[in-house]
Structure formats: structure tokens, C-alpha cells
Structure 1
Amino acid sequence: MSYKWDVLCEEGLQFFGKMSASMSHEIKNVLAVINENAGLLQDFVYMHDTGMPIDAKQLKGVSQMIIKQVRRADSIMKNMNKFAHTTDQLTKAENLNDILDIVTKLAARFASMREVSLEKIPPDEPINIKTNPFLLENLIWLCLDSAMDSVGQGKTVRVFTKKIDNSAQITFSQLDSMPEPTPEAFPDKRIEALLCALQAEITVDSKAGTINISLPI
């Protein structure tokens, strides 16, 4: 099997860069909020030094906001760490739902900017597959990116997995505004290269409003 490494490498770098930039932007927002609240703490210190009364309720609110942002930053960093480690091995046994969970969390900011909600349906059971985690994340992102452009009036993309015989399937549904697919538009050469490398298949049903990825187990 001949992989299109030029396409895979170019797309992989762009994908990694896009996600890294998004996460660093979120961390920057967290730091901005913490910095703002640190300024409020300085104001409270000044009030104390000059003998002015300090509102304990306001002080507690600042403290709680800083704690909230630290937890938010910790969550972002954990997701970033998990994402980075998916490049460690070319092939690895993974729970498909864990991979999908990482991508939906990475995509949350992009969905928010488009005013789209991502609804990940909890799986009935773990679906273990042997795959290249990073390439699969890239494929899921490209399909999810397209799905967000095709979402219906409900502005919600529903994502779920299921096991069918000897394959695992990821479904993106509620894509009521999906146009009829054309070879030039979807799936494009990036998706085709990833499908080839992962030995996966994709089906697009415009009438049902779904995109399905089938992966070998």
C-alpha cells in the first residue's frame, strides 16, 4: 500500500499547529483573567494599608475566580499533553472513544466561534482498535470541521461510535445543511490520504445528514 506521505506530513503539521495555537490562545485567556484578578488583589492590599474596610465577599469572589481559572488551565494542559503524546507511536492499541473525546475537546473552541454545539453521545462499551492515534485524530477533526459547516438549524453536531461486526464506526449526524458531496470538495485529498493510511472508509449521506467513518478493529 502506497501512502501519500507528502500530503500526510503537510496536513499533520498544519493540524498539530492549529490545535496547539488554539490551546495556547485559551491559556493566554486564562492568564489574562488571573492577571486582572491579581490587580484586584493589589487594590485590596492598598485598601488594607490605608485603613479602608475590605469587603470579604468581594475578596472571596476574586479568590474563587482565580481557583476556577487555574482549574481551567489545568484541564487545557491535560488535553494538550494527551494530544501531544498521540504522536509517540505509529501504531497503538487505543479505546476509540478516548480518541474521539480528545478531538471533541480540542474542537470545542472552534465550535463555539461558529456558535455550534458538539454533542458526544456516551458509548455503551469501550471499542478497542489498533491504529495510528494522531492520524485518526486528524481524520476526525477534518470530518468534524466539515460537519460544523453543514449543521442544521439546531446548530448541534451529534457524534457517537458503535461496533459493527469487525469494524468500528464514528458517526457525525444532524447535518441537515449538507450539500451533495463532490469528489473535489469532500472527501478531499487530505481525507483520502488519511483514509488510505488508516485503512478506513468514509460514507456521506446527504439525505440522512450523516458522515460515517469505518475503521478496522
Structure 2
Amino acid sequence: MNHLSDGETGTGLQFFGKMTASISHEIKNVMAIINESAGLLEDYTIMAEKGIPIDPEKLKALSQRVSKQIRRAGGITRNMNSLAHSVDDFHKSVGLREILELSVGLSLRLADMKSVKLDLQLPQDPVTIITSPFHLLNLLWQVVDFAMGASGDGKTLRFTYETGPDSVKIRVTGLEMLSNLSEDAFPTETEKALLQTLGGAIFLDAKAREIQMVLPKDIRQKSTDN
């Protein structure tokens, strides 16, 4: 494991804490819905004991509701597990599609709170890079957080990526208010530190209303050539 500076550790802990808190809220919501469904099932049981007919469709709908929440909980815990293991190795081969899907999955609840839709429009061809998953997830969240504030009335952020010989370019589009912000609004020192660790760079394109992140295919090369 690489040595982390105090600044990197602090920023990483803040990111990890924010994601963990969001995940715990999601799990609580799932449990609340299942608990409500259990109460309704108990009511149906009492009705049956009294000889009151129960509509089979209501039981079917209740079963489907619980099954849906169980699947939802499975997805939440998979994301939580992936986040936890993102610190296992700071030089790791990861699928770019998978890391973007995880990033969006972790950010969905926080985006929903701001009425912002996160839309993945990713190429089908698999791309693998060697990077630090935790630092990349942290950087992606910082980008999403900034982009949500610049999304304007469109309220939709779209994610895609392109590949070059030695680098990948992640594009986040839909920043309708980007041209209204000062040039030094982003990246801040937090993102600059993460970019230095990842060997990447960020570019703002106000005309295209997008953020571009350029990362090396191998963090050990730390090349940001397109």
C-alpha cells in the first residue's frame, strides 16, 4: 500500500464517510418498506384466522414488493462491498465500465436528493485500466458533486468514455450552467491532489457543457496524453 499524506487521508475519510452514511440511509429505507410489508402480512394473517377472504392479488403484490426490496438491498450491499475493497490495492486492474457503474450507483441517492438524473451511456467494448480504485471513486464523486450544481434546469448528467493508445477520457455532459462559473471554480485543491495521485488531468469545456477527465491506462506511467 502506498503512503498517504494527511490531506489525502482526510479527504479519503470524508468521502468514505459520506458514501457510508448514504448507504446506511438506503438500507434503512429498505428495512422500513419490508417492515411495513411484514405488518400488512400480519394483518392479512389475522383476517384469514377470522375467516375473512383475502384477495390473492394483494398477496402477490405484497410478495413482489418484498422481493423487489431484497434485490435492492442486494445491490446496495454489493456496492458497499466494492467500495470497502477499493482500498485493497492502489495499483489495481479494473474495468472502466464497472468503476463508472459503481460510482453512479454510490451517487444515485445523493443525486435523487437534488432531483438530478445520472445517465450512463457507455461503450460496449470493455476497457481495463491499472489505477487506484479508491482515489478514482473519490475523484468521480467530486466531479459528480460539482456537476450536479452546474446541471441547471436540465437536471441530467451523462457519462461516457473514449480510449486512446495510453489513456482514457471520461466525459460528463449536461452541465448547462458551466459557462456561468469562474474558470477556477473547478478543480479545487482537493481534486488537484487526487489527480496528482492518479496521474490524470481535468478539462472544462463550457461550450460543450462538459467535464473531461483524462487518466493513464496504467497509473504507473502517469501519462495524460490523449
User: Normalising TM by the smaller chain, what interval?
Assistant: over 0.9
Matches within 5 A, 1:1-217: 5-178=5-178, 179-183=180-184, 185-217=185-217
Q: TM-score, normalised by structure 1?
A: 0.93
Counterpart of 2:92 in structure 1: which amino acid?
K
What is the CA–CA distance in structure 2 between the aligned matches of 1:202 and 1:68, rounded to whole Å? 39
What is the CA–CA distance in structure 2 between the aligned matches of 1:192 and 1:70, rounded to whole Å? 39
User: Does the aligned pair in 2 maintain the 1:167–1:214 contact within 8 Å?
Assistant: yes
- Deviations along 1:81-119, one digit per CA (max 9) or x if unpaired, are 112111111210111221111001111111111111111
User: Does the aligned pair in 1 maintain the 2:157–2:175 contact within 8 Å?
Assistant: yes
User: Does the aligned pair in 1 maintain the 2:91–2:132 contact within 8 Å?
Assistant: yes
- Deviations along 1:167-190, one digit per CA (max 9) or x if unpaired, are 11111112111133343x311111
What is the CA–CA distance in structure 1 between the aligned matches of 2:84 and 2:194, rounded to whole Å? 19
CA RMSD of aligned residues (A): 1.5
What is the CA–CA distance in structure 2 between the aligned matches of 1:69 and 1:51, rounded to whole Å? 30
Equivalence for 2:224: none
What is the CA–CA distance in structure 1 between the aligned matches of 2:171 and 2:160, rounded to whole Å? 5
What is the CA–CA distance in structure 2 between the aligned matches of 1:56 and 1:127, rounded to whole Å? 48
Unmatched runs of 5 consecutive residues or more in structure 1: none
- Deviations along 1:99-151, one digit per CA (max 9) or x if unpaired, are 11100111111111111111111214222211100001100110111111111
Q: TM-score, normalised by structure 2?
A: 0.90
